[in-house]
Amino acid sequence: MSENPHRVTIRGTFHALIVFSSWVLFFYWWYRVLPQITGRDAAIALLLIGLTVLCTAIATFAWVRYNIGIFRRKGPRRNPTPVSESYHADSLGRKIEPVDLKPLRSARSIVISVEGEVKKYEVPKG
């Protein structure tokens, strides 16, 4: 059986309650503010809100188009990006002492030490 993607959950109900409460608060504050301001002030506020919504929509659309372009050029990602395990220096330029990687991969903890400009990776003894 397939799981119903539209089932009601506690988390979804909580999110809906937050959204509903936010809109109630939004309209309440507009109800409180509108009698105290001029029509010009309200129009400016509505214009700024509209511009914010428009800019957000444009930025979201541009970001989606950008990501679709990446997908079309590179195709779907099926595996993580391959990383070379050959290394000679860390990101700060310190030389890394050659080490056998096999024991490091299975170790529960690794000791990393820096002596001068040389970095060492070791499996703790004991």
Structure-token pair, residue 27: 């309209």
Residues 6+ apart with CB under 8 A from 119: 90, 94, 95, 96, 97, 112, 113
121 three-state secondary structure: strand
Q: Looking at residues 2-27, what average pLDDT do you find?
A: 89
Considering 32-41, 52-61, 97-106, the range whose residues carry the highest mean pLDDT is: 52-61
Mean pLDDT computed over every residue of the chain:
89
Residue pair 124/109 in contact (Cβ under 8 Å)? The answer is yes
Give the bridge partners for 120, in sequence order: 113
Domain boundaries, the chain: 10-74, 84-126
Write out pLDDT tens, residues 58-87. Answer: 999 999 999 999 999 999 989 888 877 667
104 three-state secondary structure: helix
Q: What pLDDT score does 48 carry? A: 96
